[in-house]
C-alpha cells in the first residue's frame, strides 16, 4: 500500500478542519508528445504558452455561454465548500469547489474583465504565471467532474465544466494528462481504452461462451462483428476481462439470449467510454463517438444499446445525436441510444424473463449511484428513472436490498473518487482519500443492515472500488455489476 494515511471512517460524517496545501503535491503524469500529438495537441509546453492559453480561454468563453456565466455569478455563499468528496477526504481548501473555480476565475478576471484589467488586486485577479499553471494542473486533476457541488450551489454553478475548460486550455498549450490522452489515442488506433485488438477480443468472447455453457449447459452467444444483428451493444472494454465487469457482460448476454434479441459487439467500436469528455475536447469526443456510428452503419443494426458505464451513458444520452447523428437509419420504435438497464427493466416489466431471486440470497445489496448517470443523464420515460430503474432491476433479482443514507444517493450521490479521468495509479492517494465519503456511507449500511455487496453500473466506479475497498478494511469482491445480479438470477431455457 502507498505511503499515506487512509482517512478514518467516523461514527457520523464530519467536515474536516482545513489543512492548507495538503494535496499540493498531487499531480498526475504529464502526457508525452506521443500521447499529445495524435489528439491534435502540441507535444510539450509551447514557448508562448501564456498567449496560447489566453487565446484558448477567449475561444471557450465565446463558444460556451455557460462558462462566463459560471465565472461571473459566484457570490461566495459557501454552500458548495463541504460538498466535494475530495475536500472531505483530503481537507485541502483548494479542493473546495469554489476555490477550485477561483483558480480559473482569477485569471479570467485579470484578462477578460475591465475591473480585473485596471484594479486586479481589488477583484482578486492574478496574472497567468507558471505557478498558476502548475496549480491548475494539480487541482483540476483533483476534480472528477462529478457535479455534486452544482446540486447545492444556489446558482447551479457547475465546477465540472470549469474543470473541463481548464483541462482543454492545458492541452492546447501542451500540458496534457498522460492517462486520459494515452487512452484516447488507443481508441483511435485500436478501438478501445485497453488497446485490445480484434483477435484478442474474439478469443475472449469465445472463452466466455465456453465458460457460460460449462456453467449453465446453455449456449449463450457473445457475438462480435455480426452483420445484420438487431442490436449493437457498446460496452466499456473493462467488461471484456476484469472482475466484476465481465460478470456484467455475462449478464447482458444472458438477458439478450433469453429475450431472443439478436445482438453483436463491434471490434471497431469496442469501447463505450469516451475520455474526450474528461479533457473537455469536443473534437476528440466527436472522433470517439463517430466510431459508434460507423460500426452501426457497417453492421446494419437497428438499435444501439450501451452497457454499464457512467460517463459513456452521459455522453450517449446527452450528446450522441449531436456528436454523431442523425441516427435516422435505426429503428424509430426504440430510443437512440438505450441503456442495457432500460432493456432489462422493460423485459422484466413485461414478464419476458424468469428470475430466481434465491440465486442471490447470499448477497445483501446496496447501490452506488454513479455520478454521471445520477446528475447528467436519465433512463426510461419518468423523471428520476436513472434512480428508479436500476433499483427495480436489483429488487427483481435479489430479496435483500438496502439504500445508503439519503444524502449520499440519487442526485446527492458521492463520486467513487476515480471518475473524470483520475482512475490512474499515479493518483492513488487522491483516489483513496476521495472515496472516503462513499466508504463512510457504505460502512453505515453494513453496520445497520449487514450489507455484503455494493452494486454499480459504471466501469470506473467498479474499478475504483475494487482498488480502494481494501484500504478501508473491506474486500475488493464486495463490488458487483448490476447485470451480474441479473445474470445470476436469470433462469435460462424455456420460459417458465
Ligand atoms: S465537480 Fe465533483 S469533484 Fe469537482 S469540485 Fe464539484 S464536487 Fe468536487
Ligand atoms: S455554492 Fe455556488 S455561489 Fe456559493 S460559493 Fe459555491 S459556487 Fe459560489
Rg (Cα) of the chain, in Å, rounded? 23
Rounded to whole angstroms, the Cα distance separating 148 from 160 reads: 9
Q: Is the CB of 71 under 6 A from ligand 2?
A: no
Q: Is the CB of 143 under 6 A from ligand 1?
A: yes
Q: Is the CB of 156 under 6 A from ligand 2?
A: no
- In Å, the largest CA–CA distance within the chain is 77
Ligand 2 center from residue 76 Cα (angstroms): 5
Q: Whose CA is nearest to atom 3 of ligand 2?
A: 74
Rounded to whole angstroms, the Cα distance separating 90 from 85 reads: 8
pLDDT at residue 353, rounded to an integer:
97
Residue 80, all three cell numbers: 458548495
Q: The pTM is what?
A: 0.97
Q: Whose CA is nearest to atom 7 of ligand 1?
A: 84
Q: Is the CB of 365 under 6 A from ligand 1?
A: no
- 322-361 b/e (C-beta count within 10 Å ≥ 16 → b): ebbeebeebeeebbbbbbbbbbbbebbeeeebebeeebbe
Rounded to whole angstroms, the Cα distance separating 74 from 82 reads: 16
pLDDT at residue 2, rounded to an integer:
59
Residue 405, all three cell numbers: 443514507
Question: Ligand 1 pocket test: which of 142, 148, 374 has the largest number of ligand atoms within 8 Å of its C-beta?
Answer: 148
Q: Is the CB of 155 under 6 A from ligand 2?
A: yes
Q: Whose CA is nearest to atom 2 of ligand 1?
A: 146
Q: Whose CA is nearest to atom 3 of ligand 1?
A: 143
Q: Is the CB of 478 under 6 A from ligand 1?
A: no
Measured in degrees and rounded to the nearest 5, phi and psi for residue 330 equal: -90, 165
CA of 434, closest atom in ligand 1 = 3
Ligand 1 center from residue 80 Cα (angstroms): 9
Contact 88, 16 (CB under 8 A): yes
Ligand 1 center from residue 413 Cα (angstroms): 12
pLDDT at residue 496, rounded to an integer:
52
Ligand showing the shortest atom-to-Cα distance for residue 83: 1
Q: Is the CB of 144 under 6 A from ligand 1?
A: yes
Chain position carrying cell 468528496: 85
Give the CA dihedral 277, 281, 287, 288, nearest 10 degrees: -20
Digit-by-digit pLDDT tens for the chain (496 residues) are: 458 999 999 988 899 999 999 999 999 999 999 999 999 999 999 999 999 999 999 999 999 999 999 999 999 999 999 999 999 999 999 999 999 999 999 999 999 999 999 999 999 999 999 999 999 999 999 999 999 999 999 999 999 999 999 999 999 999 999 999 999 999 999 989 888 899 999 999 999 999 999 999 999 999 999 999 999 999 999 999 889 999 999 999 999 999 999 999 999 999 999 999 999 999 999 999 999 999 999 999 999 999 999 999 999 999 999 999 999 999 999 999 999 999 999 999 999 999 999 999 999 999 999 999 999 999 999 999 999 999 999 999 999 999 999 999 999 999 999 999 999 999 999 999 999 999 999 999 999 999 999 999 999 999 999 999 999 999 999 999 999 999 999 999 875 5
pLDDT at residue 12, rounded to an integer:
87
- Return the DSSP state at 199: H
pLDDT at residue 476, rounded to an integer:
97
pLDDT at residue 195, rounded to an integer:
85
pLDDT tens-digit profile of 294-352? 999 999 999 999 999 999 999 999 999 999 999 999 999 999 999 999 999 999 999 99
pLDDT at residue 450, rounded to an integer:
98
CA of 76, closest atom in ligand 2 = 5
Rounded to whole angstroms, the Cα distance separating 86 from 26 reads: 12
Coil/strand/helix, residue 440: helix
pLDDT at residue 474, rounded to an integer:
98
CA of 142, closest atom in ligand 1 = 3
Coil/strand/helix, residue 146: coil
Amino acid at each position: 500500500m502507498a505511503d499515506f494515511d487512509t482517512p478514518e471512517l467516523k461514527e457520523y460524517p464530519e467536515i474536516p478542519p482545513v489543512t492548507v496545501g495538503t494535496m499540493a503535491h498531487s499531480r498526475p503524469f504529464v502526457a508525452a508528445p506521443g500521447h499529445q500529438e495524435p489528439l491534435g495537441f502540441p507535444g510539450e509546453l509551447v514557448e508562448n504558452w501564456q498567449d496560447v492559453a489566453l487565446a484558448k480561454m477567449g475561444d471557450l468563453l465565446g463558444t460556451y455561454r455557460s462558462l462566463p456565466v459560471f465565472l461571473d455569478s459566484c457570490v461566495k455563499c459557501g454552500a458548495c465548500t463541504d460538498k466535494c468528496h475530495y475536500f472531505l477526504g483530503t481537507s485541502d481548501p483548494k479542493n473546495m469547489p469554489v476555490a477550485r473555480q477561483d483558480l480559473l476565475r482569477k485569471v479570467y478576471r485579470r484578462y477578460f474583465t475591465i475591473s480585473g484589467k485596471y484594479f486586479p488586486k481589488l477583484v482578486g485577479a492574478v496574472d497567468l504565471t507558471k505557478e498558476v499553471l502548475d496549480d491548475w494542473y494539480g487541482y483540476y486533476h483533483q476534480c472528477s467532474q462529478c457535479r455534486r457541488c452544482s446540486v447545492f450551489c444556489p446558482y447551479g454553478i457547475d465546477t465540472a465544466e470549469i474543470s473541463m475548460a481548464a483541462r482543454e486550455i492545458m492541452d492546447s498549450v501542451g500540458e496534457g494528462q498522460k492517462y486520459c490522452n494515452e487512452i484516447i489515442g488507443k481508441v483511435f488506433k485500436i478501438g478501445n481504452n485497453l488497446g485490445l485488438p480484434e483477435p484478442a477480443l474474439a478469443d475472449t468472447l469465445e472463452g466466455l461462451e465456453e465458460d457460460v455453457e460449462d456453467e449453465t449447459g446453455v449456449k449463450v452467444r457473445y457475438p462480435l462483428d455480426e452483420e445484420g444483428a438487431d442490436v449493437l451493444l457498446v460496452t466499456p472494454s473493462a467488461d471484456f476481462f476484469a472482475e466484476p465487469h465481465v460478470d456484467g457482460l455475462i449478464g447482458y448476454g444472458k438477458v439478450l439470449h433469453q429475450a431472443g434479441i439478436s445482438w453483436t459487439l463491434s471490434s471497431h467500436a469496442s469501447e463505450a467510454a469516451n475520455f474526450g469528455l474528461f479533457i473537455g475536447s469536443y473534437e476528440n469526443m466527436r472522433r470517439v463517438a463517430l466510431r459508434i456510428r460507423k460500426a452501426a452503419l457497417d453492421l446494419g443494426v437497428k438499435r444501439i444499446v450501451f452497457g454499464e458505464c457512467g460517463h459513456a451513458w452521459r455522453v450517449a444520452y446527452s450528446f450522441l445525436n449531436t456528436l454523431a447523428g442523425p441516427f435516422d437509419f435505426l429503428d424509430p420504435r426504440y430510443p437512440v441510444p438505450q441503456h442495457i438497464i432500460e432493456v432489462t427493466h422493460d423485459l422484466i416489466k413485461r414478464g419476458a424473463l424468469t428470475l430466481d431471486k434465491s440465486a442471490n440470497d447470499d448477497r445483501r445489496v446496496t447501490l452506488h449511484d454513479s455520478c454521471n448517470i445520477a446528475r447528467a443523464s436519465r433512463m426510461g420515460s419518468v423523471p428520476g428513472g436513472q434512480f428508479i430503474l436500476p433499483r427495480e432491476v436489483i429488487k427483481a433479482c435479489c430479496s435483500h436490498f438496502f439504500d445508503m443514507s439519503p444524502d449520499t444517493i440519487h442526485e446527492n450521490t458521492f463520486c467513487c473518487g476515480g471518475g473524470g479521468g483520475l482512475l490512474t495509479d499515479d493518483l492513488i492517494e487522491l483516489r483513496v482519500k476521495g472515496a472516503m465519503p462513499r466508504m463512510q456511507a457504505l460502512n453505515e449500511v453494513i453496520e445497520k443492515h449487514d450489507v455484503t455487496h455494493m452494486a454499480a453500473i459504471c466501469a470506473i466506479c467498479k474499478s475504483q472500488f475494487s482498488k480502494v475497498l481494501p484500504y478501508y478494511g473491506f474486500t475488493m469482491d464486495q463490488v458487483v455489476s448490476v447485470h451480474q445480479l441479473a445474470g445470476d438470477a436469470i433462469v435460462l431455457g424455456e420460459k417458465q
